[in-house]
Chains A and B, each alone.
Chain A
């Protein structure tokens, strides 16, 4: 188990990303406040953490026990409990109106010294920082999925993000064994402007019958040497999230390159959302 740390990290949103982030920071000794809308969501998150830690222990005998990690995570539905937090990592749904409501609540309860890490796929950091009293302390951190395993993140500097915030957040990420690169603010940043074009166009190729999902991913894995093809990646992220991100990119750029594939929309309507519903481009 890593040495206990003094800082309190609040994680807002206990979905797949928020849960994995809470697990990672707790593993590295941070005290976590995990917040979501209901007790049942939070209980599920704690069960997921327990299972993930057990899977991790299969490969790493000296990995901390689930009980030790869970002891460092306090769950709550009350924003007032975040007032002692040194850092907030926000991971709520990729919808600007949902994030806006959350930021307005955060603005009322956080202390002035708190740094806010926005974990978003596409929404510009400067837009979200505009809801906060201290936009210099707001920074984008695009954690990669699954966050308890991945070792790299894309950090996004908003228009008002200070150099001090960048340096402190780099140190924070380094303390949980995450390396990063800092890029300027732009919808989708670097990673998702590129990856969503791949995923969307791969879906169009399936839709047009040019190739099936297996073939397309094979070209990426065996041809290009990628670890995972774009359609498997879309299933991992979730078809609903991919669709929402494409909608944000389209809205922000007004560019037809980002027009969502009809197949992605159809899969969303049919609840074929990828791994989380057991079927997407592939079956799980």
Chain B
């Protein structure tokens, strides 16, 4: 899946050599911080041409590679 690969590539830039699975909670594992969260939102909007609304900015939507991918696919469909 192209979307998932792009998300994984983006994340890998921040987490260095740490290994994560698609279901792993990246915040619980302390792999990223709040500064990263801002960059992640900008990446999702810019890379996939979608606009996230305030109600989309929920930790559940950003907690793992799978949930980020699901959010992007959902928003792409709506757009």
Contact = CB atoms under 8 A, between A and B. Distances in A.
B59 interface: yes
Contacts, number: 46
B54 A222 contact: no
Given A51-B54, A54-B57, A149 B46 contact: no
Contacts of B50: none
A149 B43 contact: no
Contacts of B27: 59
A58 B59 contact: yes
A86 interface: no
Interface string A260-284: 0000000000000001001000111
Interface string A58-84: 110000001000000000000000000
Contacts of A50: 54
For B35, B52, B58, B62, the residue with the greatest tally of chain A CB atoms inside 10 Å of its CB is B35
Given A221-B16, A275-B39, A54 B62 contact: no
B13 A282 contact: yes
A130 interface: no
Interface string B51-63: 0101001110010
Contact of B35 (A146, A214, A278, A283): A146
A15 to B, nearest CB: 15
A222 B17 CA distance: 8
Given A59-B37, A59-B59, A222-B17, A284 B54 contact: no
Interface in B10-25: 13, 16-17
B41 A55 contact: yes
Contact of B34 (A59, A66, A222, A284): A59
A278 B37 CA distance: 16
B54 to A, nearest CB: 5
A56 B57 CA distance: 9
Contacts of A55: 34, 37-38, 41, 57
B36 to A, nearest CB: 10
A278 B46 contact: yes
A275 B59 contact: no
B57 A58 contact: yes
21 contacts: A51-B52, A52-B38, A54-B54, A55-B34, A55-B38, A57-B57, A58-B57, A59-B27, A59-B34, A146-B35, A149-B35, A149-B38, A214-B13, A221-B16, A275-B42, A278-B47, A283-B47, A284-B39, A284-B42, A284-B43, A284-B47
